[in-house]
């Protein structure tokens, strides 16, 4: 008799989502729980979630709290039950845009600020540098300035992207492939 049954399709999906979520810098279990809830036709209780992804009650409790903060899981009312139930946010764009707004956008702005500060210091240091070091320091400051502008442009593009939830990327993708009309 096999001690470990073959994984089900649901198991494989939960693990795949957990893996990509972990790649994006979140805990694997967050993706596994979200996927379990996403696939469920009804809200699940914490014990059902524990059983579904094979985790402890403590892990489920902490992870569900984090998922609620990110807005990807919410409490659900189940008539006649006094036990907390949870359901997944099914609007994937809403979830992704929240992460981009709260994490990536701020990180890009912080990166640009740090580069600008570093570039300013390089320019100050260039004033006191001997001979050829002045040119090197100026060249470094110019390169850093370009990186800072790129980071700011990235943040601006991300903000524009987030403000256009119905954005049709088809023409952009076609243009990048060289298949746009008239090319």
CATH number at residue 55: 1.10.10.10
The answer on 157 and 114 residing in a single domain is yes
Query: Which stretches within the chain are classed as H helix?
Result: 9-23, 28-39, 46-53, 57-70, 92-99, 105-128, 132-162, 170-177
Q: At what angle do helices 9-23 and 28-39 cross, to 10 degrees?
A: 140
* Gap between the Cα atoms of 141 and 119, Å rounded: 5
pTM of the complete model: 0.70
The answer on 85 and 18 residing in a single domain is yes
Range of the domain at 51: 9-90
pLDDT of 69: 94
Residue 18 lies in a domain: yes
| Partners of 88 in the β-ladder | 73
* Gap between the Cα atoms of 119 and 148, Å rounded: 9
Show pLDDT as tens, one digit a residue, over the chain (183 residues).
Answer: 557 788 889 999 999 999 999 998 899 999 999 999 999 999 999 999 999 999 999 999 999 999 999 999 999 999 999 999 999 999 887 888 888 888 888 888 888 889 889 888 887 877 777 776 777 877 888 888 888 888 888 888 888 877 776 666 666 566 656 654 544
Tokens (6 digits) for 153: 């442009």
């Amino acid at each position: 008799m096999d001690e470990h049954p073959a994984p089900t399709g649901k198991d494989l999906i939960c693990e795949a989502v957990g893996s990509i979520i972990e790649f994006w810098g979140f805990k694997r279990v967050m993706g596994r729980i979200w996927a379990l809830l996403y696939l469920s036709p009804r809200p699940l209780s914490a014990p059902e979630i524990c059983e579904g992804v094979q985790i402890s009650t403590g892990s489920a409790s902490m992870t569900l709290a984090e998922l609620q903060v990110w807005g990807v899981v919410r409490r659900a009312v189940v008539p006649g039950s006094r036990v907390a139930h949870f359901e997944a946010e099914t609007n994937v764009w809403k979830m992704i845009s929240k992460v981009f707004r709260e994490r990536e956008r701020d990180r890009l702005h912080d990166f640009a600020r740090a580069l600008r500060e570093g570039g300013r210091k390089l320019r100050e240091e260039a004033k006191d540098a001997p001979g050829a070091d002045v040119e090197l320091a100026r060249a470094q400051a110019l390169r850093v300035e370009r990186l800072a502008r790129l980071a700011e442009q990235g943040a601006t593009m991300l903000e524009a992207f987030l403000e256009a939830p119905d954005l049709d990327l088809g023409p952009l993708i076609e243009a990048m492939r060289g298949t746009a009309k008239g090319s």
